[in-house]
Structure 1
Amino acid sequence: MAYLLALDQGTTSSRAIVFDADGAMVAVSQQEFEQHYPKPGWVEHDADEIWRTQRDVAVEALAKAKLKPADVAALGIVNQRETLVVWDRKTGEPACRAIVWQDRRTAAMCRQLKDAEPTFRAKTGLLLDPYFTGTKLTWLLDNEPGLRERAEAGELAAGTIDSWLVYKLTGGARHVSDASNASRTLLLNLQTTEWDHELLDILRVPEAMLPEVVDSSGVCGEAAGVDGLDGIAIAGLAGDQQSALFGQACFEQGGAKNTYGTGSFLLVNTGTEVTASQQQLLSTAAWRIGGVTEYALEGSVFVTGAAVQWLRDGLGIIKQAPDVEALANQVPDTGGVYLVPAFAGLGAPHWDPDARGALVGLTRGTTAAHIARATLEGIALQSVELAEAMRADTALPIDELRVDGGAAANNTLMQIQADLLQARVIRPKVTETTALGAAYLAGLAVGVWSDRADLAKHWQVDREFEPQISADEAAAKRERWTHAVERAKGWATDEDGG
């Protein structure tokens, strides 16, 4: 039996999962690490702590599985995207703390660069936003004493978390990033999957700092000098959302997945051609295999699971997050209530940072159960907006949605999602699809699986949800939702008198 080790480096914790050749989980280890908030809107990580926790959980997961490095066919890395690490090439020491994808310190810089946004949009498929890596790197070079001089002298390396982990695992022998991670930097030309000199010039980033862009599935090095991991081939790299798309076996054009976490990410495979979005979605590299890049459209919703946490912590109408399902099922519908959970603004396709949460349609007959059900509908309706935007951009039907993440366990939410989307919703047996995707990419590279058709056989359905309401009913709900969203937009600006 062949085994794969997936290193799942997330925003708040480092995990390692051992999978067998059937795609089943064998062992898991996880450690949280510290979040640093030095100023309002700033979020940082200690890159050394990320490395230590990721190394330790990898060794521990193998120990739990009673495996030695020689028993592992390969390892794959999946990571929080857009987070930037800068380090000294000789010593391997971080030059400063990592700037996390959530960090907003470059907002003013992005506003100053607005004239260049059409260029970035056309070449990278991304919006010009502090979310992405490129402006973080410019900020560090301009604001950390001595960094720009050291960078221009070739002393510093920069990269996303995949780059950092590969560098540390290989004892500094390899400085690489895969196409899916590199496509989130604002520096990669999506068509060529190479660093773009015009974009580098605009952001004043020395190309010598950047990693070699490699395939998402392919041996790019091996662990060396790391007790408990030595000799394991590193054969899979991917950003977390693209890895989940691969882990859900969405290998064909039109294959779509939605991950329900604190927020939600819906991705659809658009094939080997870049699809430029007219609906404010992001175009991104899904993966590059055998030198061939496949692409995806991505939409992000800021608040999904966090809305349920608000019911628990803010309103106190449930004691635990899973209780929302039983409460929502006490009523057959929302009684005309709509919750727009824009607590942190609206993401795609609206991109309105001034939107705020809105609870509309209340009457004296409204109960906690109606609000709970409206919360689940609000989560589902945000994803329907993304799917409809993707249908408009691609003319693909998106008649099936594969789901994962914590809230995918909520049967009522999944049924509501199927009803409002008017499409089949499918939950797999293994919902750890982010880590599974990294294992699939690594195993494919070293022959554990012969091809994607072989991989698809191991993806197994737990439950399917078919629409149980008519298309007309779904359309009426979506129309009312649109009215509720309009009431939520621009609220912070109005409130401030701006």
Structure 2
Amino acid sequence: MMKAVLAIDQGTTSTRALIVGQDGAIVARAQVELHQSYPRTGWVEHDPETIWRDVVATARQALSQATEAEIDVVAIGITNQRETFVVWDRETGRAVHPAIVWQDRRGAALCERLIGEGVETEVSARSGLLLDSYFSASKLAWLLDTVPGLRRDAEAGKLAFGTIDTYLLWRLTDGRVHATDPSNAARTLLFDIARMDWSDELCALFGISRAMLPRVMDNDALFGTVDAAVLGQALPITGMAGDQQAALVGQGCLKAGQVKITYGTGAFGLMHTGDTISRSRHRLLSTVAYRVGGQTCYALEGSIFVAGAGVQWLRDRLGIIASAAETETLARTIPDNGGVYLVPAFAGLGTPHWDSQARAVLCGMTLGTGAAHVARAMLEAVAYQSEELIDTMREDTGLCADLIRIDGGMAHNAWLCQFLADVLATPVRRPDNVESTALGAAFLAGTAAGIWPSLADTPSSSNRDAVFEPALAAAERARLIAGWRDAVARTRHRANVE
């Protein structure tokens, strides 16, 4: 029987379970969409119980398909939306509040106060991150200060904190294991990435009791075993990683200088920087790529807050498309953007601006502007933001990637892939299997379980991968980027005026 790994991929807008075979092919899958709640302006929440039920349901479906195909599933890998977190009662296992999602801004006031106190340099030195509500700590502090009795219970050791990987691990092991991995711990603003441990200083700064925090284990550790009653068979959990780091592994970016960008709800670019921490001069994030076999590798990361979420906005709020695939069709119906630019700062701007006050702007419209221009502007915005991100990485490291690896749902859009190559002036490689996040989780778990000898031996690329070569004239590329930068300036000016 072919051996395989169950990869649980719990994302911002969906929950998936995929069975990954020894050859890297996905041989079974199940998926459900995840509803997001917006109880107030700037707040974004998920229901933890829904996440848990969806994980169990999709995992059971995928395992059933594997059984019918006589595939031997030997381990589980978990990957998750980072920064999103849950707090739950250790005794009952019940969440005390909805999960607070990474897009949520309710920690912004605390971050602004701490920046005003001049502590961001120290925070960045320890965590590698910026003081921003994007990360978990400020929102966790908000929760403990807002819900009566929570801080008291946290300090008494009655409550557990965890990003989604930790919450799922707890539930899958019936409360026996409270643990996480370095790639998720490094996204909380509470973890010292040089010492590879929770920071007492950062915990004190945010008022977080270490009693709440999970144990940090290597990405390829034996985290625990799932009871047979939960998924229908007992399986070891031998790999965990945050979604972007999992995609780095899934794309085979295992050497310094290699870059991948994942286009999901947001878009996230990571450059592998080897076994040393690369400190950014331009507000990129220094983060843990993974820790395997006791050896830590680091990465520089840039974040684009809105990518696929902008396409959802076109569909659900504007109603100008019925499906994401229609954006490609619309973009091809017009010869150029007609001077229309959309800066999708619906939740602020990420790299390199890190401006939480910026808000979305659609500019350059005339009476001739139509749905196709707006849809194309949204796709172009993803490419322009990617150019800013890659350009910043080059300036910071001096490393110039000769190939950009991409994945995620938006990578299915061939028009966008070509426009990315044109704007980046660099070849863009799209894997035959764009499920790089799930593959990374599977590769970590599978190497630990003995399916592959090492990460370097995993089937991370295929001769069927598509490569998009730059074809845009340099002068036209410069003109388009200049128009984008003008639009961004308008966005930020509007935020500053308000």
TM-score (norm: length of structure 2): 0.92
Q: Does 1:165 align with 2:137?
A: no
Q: Using the TM superposition, give the Cα deviation of residue 461 of structure 1 relative to its aligned residue in structure 2, in angstroms.
A: 4.1
- What CA distance in whole angstroms lies between the structure 1 residues aligned with 2:317 and 2:36? 23
8 A contact 1:328–1:372 mirrored in 2? yes
Q: Name whichever of 354-363 and 260-269 sits farther off.
A: 354-363
Query: Which deviations, in whole Å up to 9, do the C-alpha atoms of 1:352-399 show, x marking residues without a partner?
Result: 334344444556766665555444333211110100011111111022
Q: How far did residue 61 of structure 1 move?
A: 1.1
- The Cα shift of 1:237 comes to 0.5
For 1:219, what is the secondary structure of its paired residue? coil
Aligned to 1:268: 271
- For 2:47, the equivalent position in structure 1 comes to 46
Letter in 2 for 1:74: A
Aligned pair 1:442/2:445, yes or no? yes
In 2 relative to 1, CA 209–475 (structure 1 residues): closer, same or farther, beyond 3 Å?
same
Match of 2:493 in 1: 490
- Distance change in 2, residues 1:395/1:38 (3 Å): same
Aligned partners of 1:419 and 1:467 also within 8 Å: yes
| Distance in structure 1 (CA, Å) of the matches to 2:271 and 2:180 | 22
**In the alignment, does 2:451 pair up with 1:427?**
no
Q: State whether residues 219 and 240 of structure 2, in contact with CA within 8 Å, keep that contact through their aligned partners in structure 1.
A: yes
Instruction: Provide the rounded CA distance (Å) in 2 between the counterparts of 1:78 and 1:368.
Output: 36
Pick closer, same or farther for the CA change 1:133–1:459 going to 2, 3 Å: farther
Q: Write the distance in 2 (CA, Å) between the matches of 1:45 and 1:359.
A: 29
Which residue is 2:152 aligned to? 149
Q: 1:235 and 1:460, CA in 2 relative to 1: closer, same or farther beyond 3 A?
A: farther
Q: Residue deviations 1:241-263, cap 9 Å, x none?
A: 11111111111111111122333
Residues 134 and 67 from structure 1, CA distance in 2 versus in 1: closer, same or farther, beyond 3 angstroms?
farther
Structure 1 position 439, deviation (Å): 0.6
1:400 corresponds in structure 2 to 403
- 2:56 and 2:230 in contact (8 A); partners too: no
Question: What is the deviation of 1:51?
Answer: 1.9
Kept in 2: contact 1:307–1:341 (CA 8 A):
yes
SS of the residue corresponding to residue 489 of structure 1 reads helix
What is the CA distance between 1:321 and its match in structure 2? 3.2
Equivalent in 125, 129, 133 of residue 128 of structure 2? 125
In structure 2, relative to structure 1, the CA distance for the partners of 1:456 and 1:23 (3 Å cut) is closer
| Cα pair 2:91 2:158 within 8 Å, conserved | yes
2:296 & 2:370 partners in 1: Cα distance? 50
2:206 corresponds to which of 203, 206, 211 = 203
One of 216, 221, 237 as aligned partner of 1:218: 221
Aligned residues of 2:252 and 2:461 also touching (Cα < 8 A): no
The equivalent residue for 1:186 is 189
- Length-normalised TM-score, structure 1: 0.92
SS where residue 226 of structure 1 aligns? helix
**Structure 1 counterpart of 2:6, one-letter code:** L
Say how many residue pairs are matched: 495
Contact 1:178 1:213 in 2 (8 A): yes
* Aligned equivalent of 2:285: 282
Q: Which moved more, 1:78-87 or 1:65-74?
A: 65-74
Q: Secondary structure at the match of 2:9?
A: strand
> 136-145 vs 452-461, which deviates more?
452-461
Structure 2 CA distance for aligned equivalents of residues 128 and 69 of structure 1: 50
- Look up the match of 1:61: 62
Label 1:159 to 1:67 Cα distance change in 2 as closer, same or farther (>3 A). Answer: farther
Q: Secondary structure at the match of 1:222?
A: strand
C-alpha change, 1:332 and 1:94, in structure 2 (3 Å) is closer
Residue 30 of structure 2 is matched in structure 1 by 29
Structure 2: segments with no counterpart, 5+ residues: none
Q: CA deviation at 1:318?
A: 4.8
What corresponds to 2:324 in structure 1? 321
1:54 Cα deviation (Å)? 1.0
Identify the match of residue 413 of structure 1 among 402, 413, 416: 416
Identity of aligned residues (%): 52
Q: Secondary structure at the match of 2:16?
A: strand
Change (3 A) 1:423 1:493: same
Distance (Å, rounded) in 2 between the aligned partners of 1:401 and 1:407? 15
Q: Which residue of 2 aligns with 1:237?
A: 240
- 1:400 Cα offset (Å): 1.0
Deviates more, 1:351-360 or 1:169-178: 351-360
Structure 1: give runs of 5+ residues left out of the alignment.
none
Q: Tell me the residue number matched to 1:92.
A: 93
In structure 1, what is the Cα distance between the partners aligned to 2:229 and 2:292? 27
8 Å CA contact 1:426–1:461 kept in 2: the answer is: no
**Aligned partners of 1:17, 1:202: CA distance in 2, in Å?**
40
* Aligned-partner SS, 1:113: helix
Matched AA of 1:49: T
Task: Give, in whole Å, the separation in 2 of the partners of 1:39 and 1:337.
Answer: 30
CA RMSD for the aligned pairs? 2.5
Q: Deviations over 1:64-117 (max 9, x none)?
A: 222699932210001111122222333323333332222222222222222222
Query: What amino acid does structure 1 have at the position aligned with 2:99?
Result: A
Q: CA deviation at 1:189?
A: 0.2
